[in-house]
């Protein structure tokens, strides 16, 4: 592992490899546990500086997309190496700014670097290019077919907005950045105000990796901004072609609105809110104590600050359900609050569950005790019946944190009605046994329409970074239900198909020629064909795969 020299924080934006002191409002980061200011003074990037970064990205776009696959892959690998080289300094800073424990951040760093390497392997393999070839059929009657060849090209500069709850894996060099760079798109990231120092450290690592591997300067920039002005200006810049966002529904919808209001609208891939319903079927209640312990562990993990947190649990009415509720009450009462990401998030959590508790028909099952920090409120579980839930739309919304709502149902028809009324979700989980398969089969078509990932058993807090993962879902869990922000399929968001008709071989892009340089599989006349052997690994690094599991 490379060892990076200690890096002093400056609070500056980093534009195309250069430090750029901001010209906007002045502010500082904060310690999550106390709210006290820490780190250097920061100044928001000005509209002029945002335009400068976007201009540099646009200037780099064609050169970056034209680089051989092995060079782009080497850049992604170098990003992982430089982040690892930050060592304990990165973990210490991220923990202070986010309140997250070092052990959790160690795992998150591994996931961040693992997904960078996973996308490097994808680039080397060439699969993302999506080559399709339909050879000419000059003798076909009644009309001949021309030679048709398809590849996917990068859309251009991408703006990335990181999440507060994942200062590494969903931030400056997180999944959106990794997949966009893998697609061949320059990236402009907005530093998250909840962890600006962490953002700067990681941005310097990416900048070093870009310089070390000979990338065009505008391939990556970091823009400092605490309010909405920087993000809005970034999305409105005409050189930005797509947006990746992870955060609140209000924030995501604001970016969607800004992107749609442009003279040339652009897509916003926003992962927003989700309550991730867990459906408990009768057979799962054979051991209510064990099930309750697993539920509370998932609900309270990371102070409940995962986008896959099980905020809604649908529980059968009756004695078995009552036993589960009693076990939940005992487990929750023995928990203590953890430091939340920011004082504002802690305050919103208390306001949110208090709003639930004020609804007629809702009662508190149990509360945990607050932690030592004033921003570590105790976990809470509340309960109501299906009628109360259906009558009060506010109960359907997300309370970000360790707050769970248990809704009691009687009979499959009432359960189906509840699920039909639930909006789009990132996940849905079925807890059952073989005795529940017939009921589950009736529920599954509804769940397929409502969620991007459906679990049988287990708990949704834990997202594997791999090829088959879907971290997405129907509106309003995301703004683009056909996509995912985790897994190699995430690269699809930043690629656009182009068809070349009747082109001479000399003008065809390399991937579309008779023996493409990537050696990737291609669809030839509708049949998958293996790629030819190539010399595209001349950087000496064979294809690799990497994955990691951290709650999301």
Q: Is 92 a catalytic residue?
A: no
Report the CATH fold assignment for 278-464. Answer: Aldehyde Dehydrogenase; Chain A, domain 2 (3.40.309)
**Range(s) of the chain covered by CATH 3.40.605.10:** 13-137+145-272+483-494
pLDDT at 203 over 50: yes
> Average pLDDT for residues 70-93, to the nearest whole number?
97
CA distances from 429 to 249, 325, 371, 423, 465 (A): 22, 18, 30, 15, 19
551 confidence band (pLDDT: 50, 70, 90): low
Is pLDDT above 90 for 516? no
Report the alpha-carbon distance of residue 415 to residue 280 in Å, rounded: 10
| Catalytic residue chosen out of the listed positions 81, 82, 271, 383 | 271
Question: Regarding beta strands 278-280 and 312-316, do their DSSP bridges make them parallel or antiparallel, or are they unpaired?
Answer: parallel
Q: What is the dihedral of CA 478, 481, 484, 485, to 10 degrees?
A: -20
Q: Is 380 strand, coil or helix?
A: strand
The whole-chain average pLDDT of the chain stands at 94
**In the chain, which residues fall in CATH 3.40.309.10?**
278-464
- Name the catalytic one among 113, 199, 307, 384: 307
| Residue 5: active-site member | no
The strand pair at 148-154 and 132-134 is best described as: antiparallel
Q: How many CB atoms lie within 10 A of CB 5?
A: 6
pTM summary value = 0.94
Give CATH superfamily name and number for 13-137+145-272+483-494: Aldehyde Dehydrogenase; Chain A, domain 1 (3.40.605.10)
Composition of the chain by helix, strand, coil, percent to 5:
40, 20, 40
The residue among 5, 55, 1, 2 whose CA lies nearest residue 201 is: 5
Is residue 3 predicted with pLDDT exceeding 60? no
Share of the chain above pLDDT 70, in %: 94
Could you tell me which residue, 551 or 450, shows the higher pLDDT? 450
Pairing of strands 363-367, 380-385: antiparallel
User: Is pLDDT at 361 greater than 80 in this prediction?
Assistant: yes
pLDDT of residue 519: 66
Residue linked to tokens 């669809």: 523
Q: What is the spatial distance between Cα 543 and Cα 70, in angstroms, rounded to a whole number?
A: 10
């Amino acid at each position: 592992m490379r060892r990076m020299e200690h890096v002093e924080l400056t609070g500056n934006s980093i534009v195309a490899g250069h430090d750029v002191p901001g010209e906007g409002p002045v502010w500082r980061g904060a310690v999550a546990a106390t709210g006290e200011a820490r780190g250097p003074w920061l100044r928001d990037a000005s509209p002029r500086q945002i335009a400068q970064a976007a201009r540099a990205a646009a200037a780099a776009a064609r050169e970056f997309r034209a680089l051989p696959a092995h060079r782009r892959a080497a850049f992604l690998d170098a990003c992982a190496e430089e982040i690892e080289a930050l060592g304990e300094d990165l973990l210490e800073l991220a923990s202070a700014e986010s309140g997250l424990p070092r052990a959790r951040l160690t795992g998150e760093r591994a996931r961040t670097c693992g997904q960078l390497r996973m996308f490097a392997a994808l680039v080397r393999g060439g699969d993302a290019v999506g080559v399709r070839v339909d050879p000419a059929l000059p003798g076909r009657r009644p009309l001949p077919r021309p030679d048709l060849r398809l590849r996917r090209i990068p859309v251009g500069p991408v703006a990335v907005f990181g999440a507060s709850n994942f200062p590494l894996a969903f931030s400056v060099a997180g999944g959106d950045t990794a997949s966009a760079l893998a697609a061949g798109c320059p990236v402009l990231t907005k530093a998250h105000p909840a962890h600006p120092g962490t953002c700067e450290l990681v941005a310097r690592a990416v900048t070093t990796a870009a310089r070390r591997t000979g990338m065009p300067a505008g391939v990556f920039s970091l823009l400092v901004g605490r309010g909405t002005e920087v993000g809005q200006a970034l999305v409105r810049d005409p050189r930005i072609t797509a947006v990746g966002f992870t955060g609140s529904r209000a924030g995501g919808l604001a970016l969607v609105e800004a992107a749609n209001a442009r003279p040339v609208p652009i897509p916003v891939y926003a992962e927003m809110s989700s309550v991730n319903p867990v459906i408990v079927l009768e057979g799962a209640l054979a051991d209510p104590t064990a099930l309750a312990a697993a539920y509370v562990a998932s609900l309270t993990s990371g102070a409940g600050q995962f986008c896959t947190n099980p905020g809604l649990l649908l529980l059968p009415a009756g004695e078995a359900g009552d036993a589960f509720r009693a076990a939940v009450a005992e487990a929750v009462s023995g928990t203590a609050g953890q430091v939340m990401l920011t004082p504002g998030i802690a305050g919103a959590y208390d306001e949110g569950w208090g709003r639930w508790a004020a609804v007629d028909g809702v009662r508190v099952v149990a509360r945990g005790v607050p932690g030592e920090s004033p921003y570590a409120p105790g976990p809470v579980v509340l309960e109501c019946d299906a009628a109360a839930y259906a009558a009060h739309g506010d109960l359907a919304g997300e309370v970000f944190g360790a707050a769970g709502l248990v809704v009691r149902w009687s009979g499959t028809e009432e359960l189906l009605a509840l699920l039909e009324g639930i909006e789009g979700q990132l996940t849905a989980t079925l807890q059952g046994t073989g005795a529940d398969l017939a009921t589950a089969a009736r529920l599954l078509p509804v769940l397929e329409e409502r969620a991007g990932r459906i679990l049988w058993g287990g708990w949704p807090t834990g997202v594997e970074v791999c090829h088959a993962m879907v971290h997405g879902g129907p509106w309003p869990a995301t703004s683009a239900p056909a996509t995912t922000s985790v897994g190699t399929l995430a690269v699809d968001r930043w690629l656009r198909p182009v068809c070349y008709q009747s082109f001479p071989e000399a003008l065809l892009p390399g991937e579309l020629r008779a023996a493409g340089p990537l050696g990737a599989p291609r669809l030839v006349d509708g049949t998958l064909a293996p790629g030819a052997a190539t010399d595209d690994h001349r950087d000496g690094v064979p294809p690799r795969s990497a994955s990691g599991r951290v709650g999301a």
